[in-house]
Amino acid sequence: MAAVAAGVGQQWVLVEMVQAFYEAPAYHLILEGILILWIIRLLFSKTYKLQERSDLTLKEKEELIEEWQPEPLVPPVPKDHPALNYNIVSGPPTHIITVNGKECINFASFNFLGLLNNEKVKSAAQASLKKYGVGTCGPRGFYGTFDVHLELEERLAKFMRTEEAIIYSYGFATIASAIPAYSKRGDIVFVDEAACFAIQKGLQASRSNIKLFKHNDMADLERLLKEQESEDQKNPRKARVTRRFIVVEGLYMNTGDICPLPELIKLKYKYKVRIFLEESLSFGVLGAHGRGITEHFGINIDDIDLISANMENSLASIGGFCCGRSFIIDHQRLSGQGYCFSASLPPLLAAAAIEALNIMEDNPVIRTMTIKCQSISGLKVVGESFSPALHLQLEESWGSRENDVKLLKRVVDYCMNSGIALTQARYLEKEEKCLPPPSIRVVITVEQTEQELDRAASLLKEAAQSVLN
Amino acid sequence: MANPSAVCNGHLHHHHHQKQNNLLKSGISKKNGIIKGTKKNGVSNGTLYKKPFIEHFEQAPMYVAVFTFVGFAVGTIFGYLRDFMRAWGLEKRNIAAEREQQKDFVPLYQDFENFYTRNLYLRIRDNWNRPICSVPGPQFDLMERVTDDYNWTFRFTGRTIKNVINMGSYNYLGFAETDVNALKTVTIELEKYGTGVCSTRQEMGTLDKHVELENLVAKFLGVEDAMVFGMGFATNSMNIPALVGKGCLILSDELNHTSLVLGARLSGATIRIFKHNNMQSLEKLLRDAIIYGQPRTHRKWRKIIILVEGIYSMEGSIVRLPEIVSLKNKYKAYLYLDEAHSIGAVGATGRGVVEYFGMSPNDVDVLMGTFTKSFGAAGGYIAGKKDLVDFLRTHSHSAVYATSMCPPVAEQIIRAMRCLMGLDGTTQGLQRVRQLEKNTRYFRRKLHEMGFIIYGNDDSPVVPLLLYMPGKIGAFARRMLEKNIGVVVVGFPATPITESRARFCVSAAHTREMLDTVLNALDELGDFLHLKYSRYSKSSHPELYEESRLED
């Protein structure tokens, strides 16, 4: 019975279907017909294969493998490349330095406050060596955090008058890890053209959009910021999540200039951009107490989002630190690659840095020395007068960069033979974004006396005379 | 062909070989524990491996994976609940906040990025960044740290927990010591040189100590020349970009360290990943690369470089060096070997995986390593042919822009290396290597017998013990600390989400008593926390095992 009813029910549905078929409008039927034909075509057509996979036979593949010749792992380096004939220093690179067997006065090491040879620093390091040994045998997360690290971080934070500080075991890695921790793909970074290589590598690792502005040119920066603002108005949703940063250095290593921080602060609040300040050269040098460029200009340190510096210049240790508000610095403890995935700073270096910091705090150094190189013909001085690292560039280029480098080398050699140790500023020519012109680096430290500075100036004059004329 | 597995097939039924065939066939379970047959395709490794290569990657029973996911799900739900309560002011906000003046700036962190950190990591945060206040030797002193607000902030009570057994520091040969005699030369050099260098290698930063150290490293490794750098991480991230650039191909292992990944990214070359220690995957990539060239343009690749590590620190596995070298020779690629954990720790005289497999250092194009682990110092080196090192002296980022290594640290490496080479007139170096080998074997064997799941090669001093569930991570580390043992636990994102683990680093300085203390504690804790997941029961002939091992 039920089966019959089911059968009737089925038939009834079938009748309905046929009726619907007759009653449907024409365009509907035509459309359905076309779709059915299309499906049939797709079902029976050959699947789309990537041409290459089916084209090569095994024999051809083997031949290709046989034929392929790679480049040599490294291109040959000419034997007279300047970096292969480097200066070897015997003994500590202090004020009187023994370079290649000859004693000279040191105008080349970044030992700004003369703390390299300080007895108190050395004895603090010795005490630490006795207690902790040399290495830390682990990254910060896995029993590599020593009480000296915590103490150094506290001292640095207190010295710079910020909430928190974080230390890295290598100066280069400090800013190169800090930038990618905050700025990711899609964010925008405005950076000065003369930024140092470590900043460039940090920016490359961050994969953000980089916008270079002319060195110390605030008008150019403002132009870029305005352009960005008009871009934002076209796409406000994206603009709400795109972070923006300005990366500048306090004292530029490549040019010796100071950055105009007060104007930058104004731009920061006007365009809502965060500022990252790299103070490797200015820490310990600028400001009444050596707190850097913020003290020099009298700016509230909280206005700067992140200050990064390395401890290898003024503090005569190894490593670097970042300081700022806890809100910002704490993030690096989990996302700073050079912090999480690398062994921590050896305790003896941290102890040395603490002692150096103590000395800096107790005797704030007033830098008044400067080298009187203004009247050297053929060479011009590049950099602020109070900058500890100056550049001496050729007034006019003698053709190619190679020639310039060779000439400057002769000047440097002349000076070295007469007892003043100088060095050329070294760059990786193919890797720099904006390669600075070749120059001699002159470093003024507090240990140099007036006579030594005069002697250096006159020697440079002589060297320039004899080589360039 | 001689089959290495035949050696151990006889005695123990719970030895597993990592099957390469199955890795490609069963894409799901990449780690298979059962011996299914003894065919190894690709290169004939019977003749390549001079001693048995035994690695374990046992998979846990299914219920473990289920519970792990459930654990994470519960944590996530509570995380959302907490965030909700915090947003509505029902719970106190302990997080540092943005400045008032900058509230209208684009937010620095997206809320979701920090979700994991805020709600899952924070709960067990007290197991990391534990500060110590003594030398990181086989035992150390921890500073006691308590939290009053569930791990948001910590407070030091001022007490120290003394003589905690150290199973976390990378102190493989025990050179992290404060013995006055051992550190005599370091003290002298520190007095002479101070701590800073204040210049780069190419400017005024090459000291005679660096030259001495580089010569010693070259002699130690048996290569033509070497160059040293101030930081191990930076050695990779600054030299790989100097060696390869656009138009080159980098074939990198799945589980490579962050420094290698960063160096590869910064170089601008194309990166392709092959499955961990899987030679079929590598060979396929090599063949495809040479046959089809660069993507889209099909130009030939300028060069192909393979990045591998000696010992992988999260897995404890050793690289299959003989097979890689034969592949590299066949396809004319270059090999970059990062021996951060293996230099000093494996090999008959501590010269790393190259010696472990009985190969010559000329087989590897670029030998890289760090001094942090086995030498108790800091820094890294790259060694190889003179052309290579000369090129790096001129083109490495570190040589031009970064400060060189500081002299006391260089002296520590020199004295440790001399001790290892026997140049100081004693056999202490060799004794340390032997002791490490014995300790490693003992520790691993015992853990296997107890029934834990241990990953990695039988000869690697890095021993990961699998915990799986997120709740057990915190429990394990805290309870071990109560028993006065310091361990390292790792979870997501350093490991896959279902495979959280505790990682032990065996040291030559550990005595048998210390290891026994740790093993007893692990036994107890394993029963208490149900960590003994291994399905293969204890060996019925432990003595037989020990005998056959000692013959090596």
Which residues of chain B neighbour A428 with C-beta distances below 8 Å? Answer: 395, 397, 400-401
Inter-chain residue contact B402 with A327, CB threshold 8 Å: no
- Best A129, A143, A428 residue to mutate vs chain B (most B CBs within 10 Å): A143
- Best B195, B309, B332 residue to mutate vs chain A (most A CBs within 10 Å): B195
From the CB of residue A456, how many other CB atoms can be counted at a distance below 10 Å? 24
pLDDT at A399: 81
Closest approach of chain A CAs to the CA of B427, in angstroms? 22
Inter-chain residue contact B233 with A341, CB threshold 8 Å: yes
pLDDT at A7: 58
Distance between CA atoms of residues B217 and B223, nearest Å: 9
Which residues of chain B neighbour A108 with C-beta distances below 8 Å? Answer: 199, 203-204
Distance between CA atoms of residues B476 and B471, nearest Å: 9
Q: Which residues pair with B384 in a beta bridge?
A: B225
Inter-chain residue contact A87 with B128, CB threshold 8 Å: no
Distance between CA atoms of residues B546 and B430, nearest Å: 21
> Per residue in B290-307, is it b (16+ CB within 10 Å) or e — as a string?
bbebbeeeeebbebbbbb
**Among all residues of chain B, which has the CA nearest to that of A201?**
B266
Closest approach of chain A CAs to the CA of B388, in angstroms? 6
Candidate from A201, A327, A334 with C-beta closest to B117: A334
Q: Taking the alpha carbons of A188, A189, A193, A198 in that order, is the dihedral positive or negative?
A: negative
**Among all residues of chain B, which has the CA nearest to that of A273?**
B105
Which residues of chain B neighbour A73 with C-beta distances below 8 Å? Answer: 243, 303, 305, 334, 365-366, 387-388
Distance between CA atoms of residues A328 and B109, nearest Å: 9
What is the per-residue pLDDT across B497-532, written as a single tens digit (0 to 9) for each?
A: 888 999 999 999 999 999 999 999 999 999 999 888
Inter-chain residue contact B199 with A109, CB threshold 8 Å: yes
Neighbour-count burial of A317, counting CB atoms closer than 10 A to its CB (0-12 exposed, 13-18 middle, 19+ buried): buried
**Whether B225 contacts B279, CB under 8 Å:** no
Which residues of chain A neighbour B464 with C-beta distances below 8 Å? Answer: none
Distance between CA atoms of residues A236 and A238, nearest Å: 5
Inter-chain residue contact A89 with B201, CB threshold 8 Å: no
Which residues of chain B neighbour A87 with C-beta distances below 8 Å? Answer: 203-204, 206
Distance between CA atoms of residues B74 and B84, nearest Å: 15
Distance between CA atoms of residues A90 and B209, nearest Å: 8
- Please name the residue that has the structure tokens 């905690």: B164
Inter-chain residue contact B130 with A145, CB threshold 8 Å: yes
Look at residues B475, B451, B467 and name the one whose alpha carbon lies nearest to residue B504: B467
**Whether A312 contacts A320, CB under 8 Å:** yes
Inter-chain residue contact B105 with A134, CB threshold 8 Å: no
C-alpha distances in angstroms, B52 versus A72, B320, B549? 35, 12, 11
End-to-end CA distance of chain A: 122
Which residues of chain A neighbour B407 with C-beta distances below 8 Å? Answer: 92
Inter-chain residue contact B96 with A330, CB threshold 8 Å: yes
A366: Cα separation from own chain's centroid: 29
Closest approach of chain A CAs to the CA of B6, in angstroms? 34
Closest approach of chain A CAs to the CA of B243, in angstroms? 7
pLDDT at B24: 35
Which residues of chain B neighbour A69 with C-beta distances below 8 Å? Answer: 332
Which residues of chain B neighbour A75 with C-beta distances below 8 Å? Answer: 391
Look at residues B466, B491, B476 and name the one whose alpha carbon lies nearest to residue B522: B476
Which residues of chain A neighbour B394 with C-beta distances below 8 Å? Answer: 77, 81, 83-84
Distance between CA atoms of residues A233 and B454, nearest Å: 57
Candidate from A93, A241, A327 with C-beta closest to B96: A327
Which residues of chain B neighbour A239 with C-beta distances below 8 Å? Answer: 106
Inter-chain residue contact A182 with B108, CB threshold 8 Å: yes
pTM over 0.90: no
Inter-chain residue contact B391 with A334, CB threshold 8 Å: no
Inter-chain residue contact A135 with B378, CB threshold 8 Å: yes
Inter-chain residue contact B96 with A140, CB threshold 8 Å: no
Inter-chain residue contact A427 with B233, CB threshold 8 Å: no
Closest approach of chain B CAs to the CA of A231, in angstroms? 15
Which residues of chain B neighbour A359 with C-beta distances below 8 Å? Answer: none
Please count the residue pairs, one from chain A and one from chain B, whose beta carbons lie less than 8 angstroms apart. Answer: 354
Candidate from B168, B237, B393 with C-beta closest to A138: B168
Closest approach of chain A CAs to the CA of B183, in angstroms? 8
Pairing of strands B334-338, B304-309: parallel
Closest approach of chain A CAs to the CA of B111, in angstroms? 11
Candidate from B178, B393, B486 with C-beta closest to A130: B178
ipTM at complex level:
0.86
Q: Which residues of chain B have pLDDT under 70?
A: 1-47, 92-94, 112-113, 537-552
Here the tokens at position A333 are: 């403890």
**Whether A433 contacts A193, CB under 8 Å:** yes
Going edge to edge, which strands form the sheet with B139-146? Answer: A145-146, B131-132, B139-146, B155-166, B485-486
pLDDT at B251: 94
Give me the count of residues in chain A. 469
From the CB of residue B450, how many other CB atoms can be counted at a distance below 10 Å? 18
Candidate from B168, B259, B408 with C-beta closest to A348: B408
Inter-chain residue contact A143 with B168, CB threshold 8 Å: yes
Which residues of chain A neighbour B399 with C-beta distances below 8 Å? Answer: 83
Distance between CA atoms of residues A7 and A168, nearest Å: 83
**Whether B145 contacts B131, CB under 8 Å:** yes
- Best A318, A334, A348, A445 residue to mutate vs chain B (most B CBs within 10 Å): A318
Q: Which helix (H) or strand (E) holds B71?
A: helix B62-87
3-state SS, B221-255, equals HCCCEEEEECCHHHHHHHHHHHHCCCCCEEEEECC
| pLDDT tens, residue order, chain A (469 aa) | 555 655 566 666 788 888 887 787 888 889 999 999 999 998 888 766 555 555 778 888 888 888 888 888 888 888 777 777 788 888 888 888 898 888 999 888 888 888 888 899 999 999 999 999 898 889 998 999 999 999 999 999 999 999 999 999 999 999 999 999 999 898 999 999 989 999 999 999 999 999 999 999 999 999 999 999 998 899 888 888 899 999 999 899 888 889 999 999 999 999 999 999 999 888 888 888 888 899 899 999 988 999 999 888 888 889 999 999 988 998 888 888 889 999 999 999 999 999 999 998 888 766 656 666 666 777 888 888 888 888 888 888 878 888 888 888 888 888 888 888 888 888 888 888 888 888 888 888 888 888 888 888 888 888 888 887 7
Residue A181, sorted as left (phi over 0), alpha (psi -120 to 50) or beta, turns out to be alpha
Inter-chain residue contact A172 with B178, CB threshold 8 Å: no
Which residues of chain A neighbour B371 with C-beta distances below 8 Å? Answer: 135
Side chain identity at residue A343, one-letter code: A
